[in-house]
Structure 1
């Protein structure tokens, strides 16, 4: 069976819901969205979306609190039961939080822990529990996955390839740190980047036909994370500033162009490499 499921972790936010919308419109993949509030996430994904019942029939929304491992585990088990043991084609971790500490003196232990729970631990635990659903080489050979005309991804993922991705941030780049500040956020995103590289090493060692990617979405205006720091009028006008629809489309284009040899890369919305 061809892997035909895309999982978007954190689908209740602006980025997550727009990833789901693009995938429903542009592919034939079954889209599994996870959120603490499934009803609100479903509304955000489907509101104003052309296609009606046909698109909605490909959407599954599961309740997940990304800070609670057991809920992530249950979601992976639900996907396995509904779609099969080797059904995962694409996983995007889209949840995140920013507690904007301005200096070392302003750090708060509880907020630091919450930052790492959502930005680092949650994506890593999603990889842990969904990883077993990735096809192996023998599964790909015994299917029609290599034939792009039969591929439910419709070009949004390379034929025969799986993708595990996390939305990190350029601010997590140690090599690009020019201003300092936002200690916990920077550190959590740098740690998330390290988990991508480590995951890629494991995928390569096990000869799994899947890759891991760290992706920078730009400054996305209008999200809960960015509202205090952005202006709506900057979207798609100020360099590197986008609305959620544009940012997610650009990132999906980056994923669509990524091949086996691109595994373990840290890329921005234009597919340009960012220093670790």
Structure 2
């Protein structure tokens, strides 16, 4: 059986919901969307999606990445409904921005919240969904080819993808202005987790890769509204709507091959400094 499930963690947000919507339109994959509020997430995903979307391929599960038991439960539900080796793609899209301007503004509460949503939740989601990735024998025994692959080019045949939205601002090499300590540190930590996960995938000869993704400056989202203007989308370099940004990142993913695991990629597919 060909792995045919795409999981979008944080599907109630602007980017997460658009990832789910794009995949429903572009592929034949079953899309599993997770959110703390499943009903609201489903409405957001299907709103404006048009008649071409097959709603029967969308499953929305309740999951709070701050509560590990809900992640484990969601992974078990996917395993039960779709099979033990059904995962083809996982995108972690949850995130929060605490805009501290200096070390004096950092608090334990804000640090914990930032790391829970930007780092720990991503890592724990990988932990519980990782066992659903096919191994080499599973791929070898399947009858996957380009024409029958439900990913329809969104992922290379015989390969799976584990991805996290991090941010260029999490780059240590690119840090010129300082500030936003909790956000920068939690994103940098997630980048490290991606590289470490890729090493494990390689050591276990798992035919899947892990990558970190920068979506650009996404306007009109709950996270970005205080610092961006919606009219800047498409006008200022690197400023996009959630629909455009998520589409660009999926275009990046579809071109990746086995040797691309462990990269930190911009929305245009270029490598970013760690």
TM-score range, shorter chain: over 0.9
Aligned positions of 1:136-155 closer than 5 A: 136-145=135-144, 147-155=145-153
Q: For residues 156 and 220 of structure 1, what CA distance do their matches in structure 2 show?
A: 22
Match in the other structure for 2:182: 184
RMSD: 0.7
Task: Return the offset for 1:165.
Answer: 0.1
Runs of 5+ consecutive residues of structure 1 not aligned to the other structure: none
Cα distance in 1 between the residues matched to 2:54 and 2:92: 22
d(CA) in 2 for partners of 1:47 and 1:259?
A: 33
Aligned to 1:76: 75
Shift of 1:237: 1.3
Counting matched residue pairs gives: 274
Taking the aligned partners of 2:46 and 2:218, their CA distance within structure 1 comes to: 20
1:46: which partner in 2? 46
For each residue in 1:208-251, what CA deviation from the matched residue of structure 2 results, as whole angstroms up to 9, or x when unmatched?
Answer: 00000000000000111100000010011110000000000000
TM norm structure 2:
0.99
CA offsets 1:6-49 (integer angstroms, 9 cap, x no match): 00000000000000000000000000000000010000000121
SS of residue paired to 1:217: coil
CA distance in structure 2 between the aligned counterparts of 1:49 and 1:253, rounded to whole angstroms: 19
Show the counterpart of 1:232: 230
2:126 and 2:190 map into 1 onto residues whose CA distance is 12
Alignment of 1:63-142 (within 5 A): 63-142=62-141
5+ residue gaps, structure 2: none
Q: CA deviation at 1:66?
A: 1.2
1:221 maps to: 219
Give yes or no for the alignment of 1:28 onto 2:28.
yes
- Post-superposition, which runs of at least 4 consecutive aligned residues in structure 1 deviate over 2 A? none
Equivalent-residue separation in structure 2 for 1:98 and 1:160 (angstroms): 36
TM-score, normalised relative to structure 1? 0.98
